[in-house]
Amino acid sequence: MNIKLYFDGYCPESLLKDEKAEMRLNEDDFWESEATGLQITVFPPFAAILRWRGKGKFRESSEVASNVLGDLVMTTSQKEKGKEILPDKDKIIHNEKELQCYLGKIYKSKKEFEDALLIDSL
């Protein structure tokens, strides 16, 4: 059976803790959790969880993801430079365990993510 987790506009990390946290557009045009800083990009039918957290700098708009998005297949994001905001269609998140594992690998900032990529390429 090929089960998938779907993004419904609420922070998936918060949902793991039985909490509902809204996601809003940030200054980088990513959906960011108000509670955790988790960021998601949307390329229907996919929602890619970025590999670094946001800075909490939201757009003035009061629009939230839960009002405009739903039933998008959650994936990890690609690692390659220039593609790091795109969904990795081969890395669909199938269950809570996979989600929890991936969340443990997310960097605190984009700089930490880029530094880790640089070290990996040496």
Residues 6+ apart with CB under 8 A from 102: 49, 76, 93
* Cβ neighbour number for residue 42 with a 10 Å cutoff: 17
No. of helices (H) and no. of strands (E), the chain:
4, 7
The pair of three-digit structure tokens given for residue 105, joined into one six-digit string: 């690998």
Confidence check: pLDDT of 1 > 50: no
Distance of CA 113 to the CA centre of its chain: 14
* Predicted local confidence at residue 121, as pLDDT: 61
pLDDT digits (tens, 9 = 90+) for 58-101: 999 878 999 999 899 999 999 888 999 999 999 999 999 999 99
